[in-house]
Each structure stands twice: as C-alpha cells, then as structure tokens.
Amino acid sequence: MNTASAPATDESSLSARETVKALCAYVRPHRWAVALGLLCALAGAAGGLLQPLATKTLVDRLATGDTITGILIALTALVLLGTAIEAFGAYALERTAESARLSTEPTARRTGTVPRQRAAVTGPASVRFEDVSFRYRPGLPYIHQQVSFEVPGTGMTAFVGPSGAGKSTVFALIERFYEATGGRVLVDGKDVQDWSLSELRSAIGYAEQDAPVLAGTLRENLVFAAPGATDDDIRDVLARTKLDTLVERLPHGLDTPVGHRGSKLSGGERQRIAIARALLRRPRLLLLDEATSQLDAVNELTLRDVIAEVARETTVLVVAHRLSTVTGADRIVVMEAGRVRSVGTHEELTAQDRLYAQLAAPQFLTSSR
C-alpha cells in the first residue's frame, strides 16, 4: 500500500469541504433569490425545448390545411414567455452575485493602530467632534464643515436646526456608518476609527422616529438586542420607561402579542418600548433621533420625563425638531448648513441666537421678537 498519497488525499478532501462550506455560506443568505433565478432559468430552458415541438405541430397543421391562427398565437406567446423568463432568471442571479461582491464594514481597528489591553469601560461616554468635515463622496457638497463640539459624560445634549443642517449625520458618524472626510470624531477621547465596530456599537443604544416593533410578544421585543436580560433587568427598565402600568393591564403581561408592527400599542407605547429595548443593552451612550416627532402632547410629556431620568446616569444625545422635548437639555447645539452655529441652554440661545429664537417662537417656547 502506498501511504505517500494519503496526505494529498486528505488535503484534497479538506479543500473540497472548504469549497462546499464557502458555497453554502454564499447561498444560505441568498437562497430565495438563487432558487427564483434557477427556477426562471429552468422555465426559460423548458420554453426553448418546447419550441421545436410547437414548430413541428405548426408544420403538421399547415400540411393538413387546419386553421393556424391559434397555433401561431400560442407559439409566439410561448417563445416570448420563455425568453422573458430566462432573461429574468439571469438578471436575478446576476443581482445576487452583485450583492455578494458589495464591500462590507471593516470589523477591525484602523490599520496601524495597536490594540491596548484595558478593562471594560463602564459609566457614561463622552463625545467630541474636532473640525469634522464630511461628504458622501468626492464631487458632492459637504454635509459637515469644520463641526466642533464637546459632550461630557451624563446629561442630555440636543441638536436642533433646520432640515438638512446635518443633525442626523452626527449620529451616523459616531456609529461609524460613515467615516469623516476630515477632522476627528472621538468617544471617550479615542478616535472612533481606532475602535472595533463591535466594541463601539456595543456601547451605544439607538432609538429613531419610526420605532421598530416586531410581530411577537412584548417580552420578545424588549430582549431582542439583549437576550441575556434577566426578569429583574426587564422590571427595572419597564419602571424607568413607565411601561410597568402597560404590562399590568395586558391580558398576558410580558407574554402578550403586540400585533404586526405593534398595531395593538399606541405610538407613545411603541416609542417607549424602543427606548426600553435600547436601555436593556446598558448603553453608555444613548442616541435618540426624532423620537417624539409623532407623539401627541401627553405622550411627548411622558417620554420627555423618561429621557430626563435616563440622562442622569447615561450620556443622551437627542435630535429634535420639536424643541419642547429638549428645552431642559444641559446643552443645545444649533446647526445650520453643516456648521455649528452656537451652543448653550434654551434660555441662553433664546436671548443670543436669532435662528434658535425663530425655531422656538412658532412652538410657543419664546415670545416673537
């Protein structure tokens, strides 16, 4: 027996297994698109195979002198349908392959940085922008131009300004959905590009205007991002977000289905669930993007109290058009045309910043001047 070939056989077997694993890893997330593409391609091929049969039938009919109008229509329709289905199948497969070639976010730190061993950081995070500029790609206008501000740990900082001022882009840069074109974005004094994405985003909680609530139970929605949360953790968050009374009146408590997209809940309840879900992750930095824009006055007041309570022990950044939500903020950053116009409290800005006063006046937060 020649044993010299055994290692080569093992290597070939290993290579084959790795190839199969790689193929499965590609197909699994795109299985429906791949299946549809293959089905369409097979249908197109079947149409092509049936075309000669239909042609022979047509010739036979012509030979016997039968009426051929219906046959011509059927033949034409079959050929066109087969061609269209085959083309669609090829397009579906090409789009699937194209999506697989898209670049993905880097999960590691910036090249050239040396990771430092340090204990897990706890407590509120600080944020600082240093002359940050940003545009989506070369040739497009800048969204941010030399934006600078500083947010210490704890407290609430609000970002206000006209639409298109670049407020929500602040959040996108903090979370590294985009990289700054110039300047630096720092969290805890460390450039976000030097954080790994998992490390950075695990410290952040996020709630947006259209709070996503999934079809399932209330408990499933709350622990979606924190599957290890205990019952004590859930009770604590429910109390902080004033959802404990909601749980008490639901027929099955936390195990009550909330309906498709939370259809059995009010808008205010959905927003508070989104915030409770974010808090269950114990974030050091909580980002709220227009979280009260769709609420009535009663629900807005309740949510404002919730945010103020959270801000006592977590750094909270809020983007708001309804200034009534943020009049009690520790600091308000006024943005206009991608620049920081001024920073101060509600009272200071009402007296010193004309744009802020103009934004506040229609909401009866200050007297018109």
Give how far Cα 186 sits from Cα of 24, 73, 211, 317, 344, Å: 39, 69, 27, 14, 21
Of residues 42 and 238, the one with the higher pLDDT is 238
103 alpha carbon, distance to own chain's centre:
17
Of residues 217 and 306, the one with the higher pLDDT is 217
User: Do 231 and 350 sit in the same domain of this protein?
Assistant: yes
Determine, yes or no, domain membership for 268.
yes
**Which DSSP letter does residue 217 get?**
B
* Boundary-marking domain end, from 62, 81, 99: 99
Q: Is the pLDDT of residue 369 over 50?
A: no
User: Do 358 and 241 sit in the same domain of this protein?
Assistant: yes
Determine, yes or no, domain membership for 128.
no
Copy the structure tokens of residue 63.
Answer: 């030979």
Q: What is the CATH number of the domain that holds 316?
A: 3.40.50.300
For residue 31, what are the domain limits?
9-99
Tens digits of residue pLDDT in 267-308 = 778 888 888 888 888 889 999 888 766 667 777 787 788 888
Amino acid letter, 181: T
User: Do 65 and 205 sit in the same domain of this protein?
Assistant: no
Q: Is the pLDDT of residue 233 over 70?
A: yes
Of residues 140 and 212, the one with the higher pLDDT is 140
- Of the ranges 68-72, 217-221, 239-243, which one carries the lowest mean pLDDT score? 68-72
* Boundary-marking domain end, from 99, 126, 143: 99
User: Do 93 and 161 sit in the same domain of this protein?
Assistant: no
Could you tell me how many residues make up the chain? 369
Determine the pLDDT at residue 153.
86
Q: Is the pLDDT of residue 319 over 50?
A: yes
Side by side, which strands form the sheet with 331-336? 204-208, 285-289, 315-319, 156-160, 331-336, 339-344
Highest mean pLDDT pick, 23-32, 124-133, 243-252, 264-273: 124-133
Angle between helices 69-101 and 31-64 (to 10 degrees): 160
Query: Beta 182-187 vs 190-191: how paired, if at all?
Result: antiparallel
User: Do 240 and 348 sit in the same domain of this protein?
Assistant: yes
Highest mean pLDDT pick, 33-47, 245-259, 260-274, 284-298: 245-259
- Count: domains in the chain: 2
Determine the pLDDT at residue 6.
45
- Of the ranges 58-67, 133-142, 180-189, which one carries the lowest mean pLDDT score? 58-67
Q: Is the pLDDT of residue 326 over 60?
A: yes
Q: What is the band of 180 on the pLDDT scale with cuts at 50, 70, 90?
A: very high
User: Do 204 and 88 sit in the same domain of this protein?
Assistant: no
Determine, yes or no, domain membership for 14.
yes
* DSSP secondary structure letters along 28-83: GGGHHHHHHHHHHHHHHHHHHHHHHHHHHHHHHHHHHT---HHHHHHHHHHHHHHH
User: Do 225 and 317 sit in the same domain of this protein?
Assistant: yes
Tens digits of residue pLDDT in 142-173 = 999 999 999 998 899 999 999 889 999 999 99
361 alpha carbon, distance to own chain's centre:
34
Cα(147)–Cα(183) distance, integer angstroms: 9
Cα(131)–Cα(363) distance, integer angstroms: 32
Determine the pLDDT at residue 275.
84
* Boundary-marking domain end, from 99, 127, 145: 99
**pLDDT > 90 in the chain, percent:** 25
Determine the pLDDT at residue 323.
84
Determine, yes or no, domain membership for 68.
yes
Copy the structure tokens of residue 280.
Answer: 């269950």
User: Do 300 and 214 sit in the same domain of this protein?
Assistant: yes
Q: Is the pLDDT of residue 106 over 90?
A: no
Determine, yes or no, domain membership for 295.
yes
User: Do 60 and 199 sit in the same domain of this protein?
Assistant: no
Copy the structure tokens of residue 166.
Answer: 């670049």
Cα(112)–Cα(115) distance, integer angstroms: 10
User: Do 158 and 63 sit in the same domain of this protein?
Assistant: no
Copy the structure tokens of residue 14.
Answer: 């290993």
**pLDDT > 70 in the chain, percent:** 70
Residues 6 or more apart in contact with residue 109 via CB below 8 angstroms: 115, 193, 194, 195, 196
Q: Is the pLDDT of residue 21 over 90?
A: no
Determine, yes or no, domain membership for 173.
no
Residues 6 or more apart in contact with residue 118 via CB below 8 angstroms: none
Determine, yes or no, domain membership for 269.
yes
Cα(91)–Cα(171) distance, integer angstroms: 36
155 Rama class: left (phi>0) / alpha (psi -120 to 50) / beta: left
**Which DSSP letter does residue 119 get?**
P
Determine, yes or no, domain membership for 44.
yes
Determine the pLDDT at residue 117.
40
- Of the ranges 90-94, 162-166, 363-367, which one carries the lowest mean pLDDT score? 363-367
* DSSP secondary structure letters along 307-342: HHHHTTTSEEEEE-SSGGGTTT-SEEEEEETTEEEE
Cα(161)–Cα(318) distance, integer angstroms: 12
User: Do 357 and 211 sit in the same domain of this protein?
Assistant: yes
Cα(146)–Cα(181) distance, integer angstroms: 10
Q: Is this structure's pTM higher than 0.75? A: no
* Range 79-82, long-range pairs (CB < 8 A, 24+ positions): 79/47, 79/51, 81/47, 82/43, 82/44, 82/46, 82/47, 82/48, 82/50, 82/51
Residues 6 or more apart in contact with residue 1 via CB below 8 angstroms: none
What is the average pLDDT value for the chain, to the nearest integer?
A: 78
User: Do 84 and 207 sit in the same domain of this protein?
Assistant: no
Of residues 272 and 90, the one with the higher pLDDT is 272
**Which DSSP letter does residue 193 get?**
G
